[in-house]
Amino acid sequence: MARHLITSAIPYINGIKHLGNLVGSQLPADLYARYLRARGHEVLFLCATDEHGTPAELAAAKAGKPVAEYCAEMHAVQAKITEGFGLSFDYFGRSSSPQNQKLTQHFAGVLADQGLIEEVTEQQVYSNADGRFLPDRYIEGTCPNCGFESARGDQCDNCTKQLDPVDLIDPRSTISGSTDLEMRETKHLFLRQSKMKDQLDAWINSKADWPVLTTSIAKKWLHDGDGLQDRGITRDLDWGVPVKHGEKDWPGMEGKVFYVWFDAPIEYIASAQEWVDAGQGTNWERWWRTDAGADDVRYTQFMGKDNVPFHTLSFPATIMGSGEPWKLVDYIKSFNYLTYDGGQFSTSRGRGVFMDQALEILPADYWRWWLLSHAPETSDAEFTWENFQSSVNKDLADVLGNFVSRITKFCRSKFGEAVPEAGTYGAAEEALIADITARVAKYQEHMDAIEVRKSAQELRAIWAAGNEYLQAEAPWTTFKTDADKAAAQVRLALNLIPLYATLSAPFIPTASQQMLKAMRLPDAIWPDDVPAALGLLSPGHAFDVPEVMFAKISDEDREAWSERFAGTRD
Ligand SMILES: Nc1ncnc2c1ncn2[C@@H]1O[C@H](COP(=O)(O)OP(=O)(O)OP(=O)(O)O)[C@@H](O)[C@H]1O
Ligand SMILES: [Zn+2]
């Protein structure tokens, strides 16, 4: 048994997340957490809402609410939806928590003591119409790198380049649209990442097993152009963690807050403290402090590609630079983008399918299966309603659902609702057992390596093997001439159901529970020994024929949904 710390990129607070956000971070993290727990490992799976920064203020203003109230409400909304998707966080925290505030101020203080923070007086964009500075998303313009016209002050959403508001071409205020902007002097703190470049470079180079997407983005920021740049970590805003040097005031920084990208990853640690303070866990230090045992922990992070620079460079710079014994990430699983029907998913433009809407039309398992089996791993992936309909109908309804329904119903009609006893296994049964044994080993390999699509493919193949067996051996035909042989065939096929339930649980937890319940088994037990697991249901073991597990998506449904989600949500 090992100990695994897992974090998902923390979803931003400014609205309900779309299916792209889900498959790029929380959902694969949940898949991995569920798998590792099923294999008997000790897992701490943390997530939180990312609540600071300009978009939260803008969204609160739009909703006509004070930003703190808006964030508290949206946190509750997101928490409820993540439950609906079966995301099995041990704790879902908030980056605006007092724990994170204190820890963020602490890190700033120790980084300053280590000579890694520089105070810089610089020019920032000031809007005369709005009477304020315009950091980050308060300003938009054309990206100097790729020409994208709606690049934000802190990052271009199109090419992922980190930007400074002063870099933008044709800048405008997102509050008023005003272009009456001028440069004014203000003082800010910079994290001296450039001083840590060699250390970070060596660390990234030591991660030969990381996804290429992760290391290539890190190397780009390390080496492109002038190399790794120092990063402003404070802002002229009201909403955020007040700038302090540990518990002490920071002269000259009164009224300023830390930049959201400085405090957000620190929330990974703070959420473990919140978990303990909420009475749900004990001893967060053993997960996060290498002087308290965290060296034994394997720490895996999940995120979409735009989050990679912060997790491979800025946050590690914070951790390493502190000189304190904090746990560093061991593996970063990153994702390309899921696109929606020929374009981008977009929260700000309301384009695509959002998590609440998805659950309104179909249960979580349908989405979980499609998203994970089409995860944008090696390249971007596209969601289309046709593909969704066809995968759900084929994989879930025709293959898995049909197998379970067919065999339980056939058994009930010929032998009753209990596992039949007669007959012995022959060559076909031995071959199936051997095939499933080999496939389970491959499935585990892919899951251990967090190869999401390959894992889904192997799982589908394991389901299909059962169907092919039934098709080839046709117990309904065998029964007419050799009832005992048919009994043995049915016995083996019924035993595949608990195996399917256990193996499938990380992908489709609800259907998995339904299968176990129908087989009258309390818990899933991981099939470490597949042939033994295929004898779990002994002769005489009673079961129930389950309700239809997966309804097929009709062409009418598909067309209606495709139309409903063609526009933008308000
Ligand atoms: N289309 C997408 N496909 C896959 N992952 C995505 C996609 N868009 C965002 N992500 C990832 O989702 C996670 C949560 O994102 P976050 O809440 O910060 O929203 P975001 O990056 O501002 O995106 P958006 O503005 O589209 O909601 C991040 O890890 C991000 O990289
Ligand atoms: Zn760009």
Helix (H, G, I), strand (E, B) or coil at 249: strand
Reported in sequence order, the residue ranges of 321-368 that DSSP labels E, i.e. its strands, are: 331-335, 338-340, 343-344
Per-residue DSSP letters for 191-228? E-GGGGHHHHHHHHHT-TTS-HHHHHHHHHHHHSTT-S
Atom of ligand 1 nearest to the CA of 15: 27
Q: Is the pLDDT of residue 166 over 70?
A: yes
Q: Is the pLDDT of residue 279 over 90?
A: yes
Residue type, 368: R
Binding residues for Zn(2+): 143, 146, 156, 159
**Beta pairing class for 231-232 and 181-191:** antiparallel
Residue 523: its pLDDT value, please?
86
Mean pLDDT of 36-59: 95
**Beta pairing class for 139-142 and 169-173:** antiparallel
Specify the DSSP element, H or E, that contains 58. Answer: helix 54-63
Atom of ligand 1 nearest to the CA of 8: 29
Q: Which mutation among 6, 7, 13, 21 tests ligand 1's pocket best, with the greatest number of atoms within 8 A of CB? A: 21
- Give yes or no for a contact between 370 and 388, defined as CB atoms under 8 angstroms apart: yes
Q: Ligand 2 mean position to 262 CA, how many Å?
A: 22
Ligand 1: lining residues by beta carbon, under 6 Å? 9, 11-12, 17, 20-21, 23-25, 303-304, 306-307, 335, 337-338, 345-348, 376
From 179, 182, 108, 110, select the one nearest 141 (Cα to Cα). Answer: 179
**Beta pairing class for 91-94 and 257-258:** unpaired
**Position 561 confidence tier, pLDDT thresholds 50, 70, 90:** very high
Q: 224-238, pLDDT tens digit by residue?
A: 988 999 999 999 988
Query: Which residue segments constitute the domains of the chain, with CATH numbers given?
Result: 385-533 (1.10.730.10)
pTM of the model: 0.94
Residue 226: its pLDDT value, please?
86
Q: How far is CA 68 from the centre of its chain?
A: 25
Least confident of 152-161, 192-201, 464-473: 152-161
CA separation (Å) from 402 to 53, 282, 392, 463, 494? 49, 44, 12, 10, 13
Mean pLDDT of 343-362: 92
CA separation (Å) from 346 to 91, 135, 272, 284, 353? 27, 21, 30, 35, 9
Starting from the CA of residue 147, give the closest ligand: 2
Q: 286-314, pLDDT tens digit by residue?
A: 999 999 999 999 999 999 999 999 999 99
Q: Which mutation among 13, 306, 346, 370 tests ligand 1's pocket best, with the greatest number of atoms within 8 A of CB? A: 306
Starting from the CA of residue 160, give the closest ligand: 2
CA distance 17 to 20: 8
CA distance 174 to 295: 45
| Full strand arrangement of the beta sheet holding 381-383 | 343-344, 338-340, 381-383
Starting from the CA of residue 28, give the closest ligand: 1
Q: 440-468, pLDDT tens digit by residue?
A: 999 999 999 999 999 999 999 999 999 99
Q: How far is CA 40 from the centre of its chain?
A: 21
Residue 135: its pLDDT value, please?
85
Mean pLDDT of 177-187: 93
Q: Which residues pair with 172 in a beta bridge?
A: 140
**Position 570 confidence tier, pLDDT thresholds 50, 70, 90:** low
Least confident of 7-11, 210-214, 408-412, 565-569: 565-569
What is the overall mean pLDDT for the chain?
Answer: 96
